[in-house]
Amino acid sequence: MPRRLIGVTAANVAAQDHSVRRLACNLVYLEAIERAGGIPVVLPNTTDHDLLPRILGTLDGLLVTGGADVSPAYYGQAPHPALGDVDTCRDAMEIPLVRSAIQEDVPLLAICRGMQVLNVAMGGTLYQHLPEQRPSPIHHVQSGPRSAFSHTVEVAEETLLADIVGSGEMHVNSLHHQAVCQPAEGFTITALAPDGIIEGMERPQNRFVVAVQFHPEETSVHDDRTRRLFTTFLEAT
């Protein structure tokens, strides 16, 4: 089988002096896809949304990556004072792209903001700032290196995520100040942090739609369970 093409979403960022705008994607996402046997293809945040079916049609899978906060306008809320940066152009491209991927049953792995985008695209809502909206002794913005584990999650039995990483307790990293609040209809919650924050969801009607709130791309070099998220994603394509 030829190596599979995996579309990887990316951020629009401004250069420090604001002279140019750039597309930015953490290399660890691309390395994790390559190690799992795929070919990562970084996707532009095109404003011509008529192109999205053609872009999706060339891909064997879609990786929706981490990044800025999703604009709360997409789930009908005013911005919370602690809302972080938003990437309007990226939201406007990713939300219809994710909907098309679900519709066309393109295998999809969604990470951190990616899970939040997926939830909002399919009708769910988010906590805009956990420390104020869901105070907890667990620090979901960890202070150690991104590749270090900081809290546990409980992986639910009889889910695709449990097939991949095993059910029960799992150590994960945590680099988010937002989280899924109301999950979109049709999704199964697959992982919960000890404080009840949703850390995983999937859509059983699709072949492979797996979303996690943690960052497996940062730990997959040293951790078999998070590495398997990428290899099973590639196997599903």
**Mind telling me the catalytic residues?**
112, 215, 217
Member of 4, 90, 113, 140 binding Mn ion (CB under 5 A): 140
Tokens of 10: 């990316």
**d(C-alpha 199, C-alpha 212), whole Å:** 6
Tokens of 56: 């999706």
Q: Where are the beta strands (DSSP E) in the chain?
A: 5-8, 11-14, 21-24, 39-42, 61-64, 108-111, 126-127, 151-155, 168-172, 179-180, 188-192, 198-202, 209-212
Least distance (Å) from Mn ion to the CB of residue 213? 5
Member of 174, 190, 220, 237 binding Mn ion (CB under 5 A): 174
Kindly give the residue spans of alpha helices, DSSP state H, lying in 58-145: 88-103, 113-121, 130-133
| Nearest to Mn ion of 116, 174 (CB atom) | 174
Least distance (Å) from Mn ion to the CB of residue 28? 18
**d(C-alpha 102, C-alpha 92), whole Å:** 16
- Pick the stretch among 29-37, 128-136, 166-174, 223-231 that binds Mn ion (CB under 5 A): 166-174
Near Mn ion in 194-233, by CB under 5 A:
none
- Pick the stretch among 40-48, 70-78, 115-123, 174-182 that binds Mn ion (CB under 5 A): 174-182
| Nearest to Mn ion of 140, 203 (CB atom) | 140
| Nearest to Mn ion of 93, 153 (CB atom) | 153
67 in Cβ contact with 31 (< 8 Å): no
SS3 call for 89: helix
Least distance (Å) from Mn ion to the CB of residue 136? 10
**d(C-alpha 47, C-alpha 173), whole Å:** 33
Work out the burial of residue 82: count CB atoms within 10 Å of its CB; fewer than 13 is exposed, 13-18 middle, 19 or more buried: middle
Least distance (Å) from Mn ion to the CB of residue 193? 5
160 in Cβ contact with 202 (< 8 Å): yes
- Pick the stretch among 17-25, 44-52, 112-120, 170-178 that binds Mn ion (CB under 5 A): 170-178
- Pick the stretch among 26-34, 42-50, 172-180, 227-235 that binds Mn ion (CB under 5 A): 172-180
Least distance (Å) from Mn ion to the CB of residue 173? 8
Q: Count residues contacting Mn ion (CB under 5 A)?
A: 2
| Nearest to Mn ion of 215, 227 (CB atom) | 215
Binding site for Mn ion (CB under 5 A): 140, 174
